[in-house]
Amino acid sequence: MTDRTYRAAPSGALRIEPLGELTAIFDRRSMQTHLVVSPMPEILEAVGAAPCSAALLVSRLAATFDLAAADDVQPVLAERLGELTAMGLVERA
């Protein structure tokens, strides 16, 4: 499977408010509220404006999470990126 690339929503499109165990995200474009849990907020932050693949995301998130112990991180992150795309919070690059 090709490693698809994604980019973050345009600057200012999302209002992200951590609320304890949940993070509430207001999308100013769709006026929708999304509720997510970790690692979704961390992924959103790590994707960035430039095209980012799941492989690149693994290396970025390695700074925050202990990913060395997990073997199959990349497909899991690819799946999460697909979910964030479906929610409209990241875009295919």
Partner 1 sequence: MRHRIRIAVGPVQFRIGSDWAEPIAALERLYARYPQDDARPADATVRLFAARPWRRWLRPSVHIGGDFIVPDALPLPLSMGLLAAEMGMNLQVALGWRRHMLLHASAVAKDGRAMIMSGESGSGKSTLAALLGEGDWRLMGDEFTLIDPEGGDAFAFPRAVSLKNEAIAEVAARVDPSRLGPLLAGTPKGDIRHLIPRPEAVAAMHEPARPALLLFPRFGGETAIEPMGEGEAFVRLTEASTNYVALGEAGFAALTRLVREVPAFGISYPDSAAGIALVEQLWAETAR
In the complex, the smallest distance separating the C-beta of residue 35 from partner 1, rounded to whole angstroms, is 7
In the complex, the smallest distance separating the C-beta of residue 79 from partner 1, rounded to whole angstroms, is 23
Compare residues 26 and 65 and give the one whose CB is closer to partner 1: 26
Compare residues 1 and 20 and give the one whose CB is closer to partner 1: 20
In the complex, the smallest distance separating the C-beta of residue 39 from partner 1, rounded to whole angstroms, is 16
In the complex, the smallest distance separating the C-beta of residue 58 from partner 1, rounded to whole angstroms, is 27
Residue 21, both tokens: 């165990």
The site for partner 1 (CB under 8 A) is made up of 15, 17, 19-24, 26, 28, 31, 33, 35
Listed residue (7, 11, 70) closest to 43, CA to CA? 7
**Contacts of 41 by beta carbon, 8 Å cutoff, 6+ apart:** 16, 18, 23, 25
Compare residues 5 and 23 and give the one whose CB is closer to partner 1: 23
Which conformational region is residue 49 in: left (phi greater than 0), alpha (psi within -120 to 50 degrees), or beta?
Answer: alpha
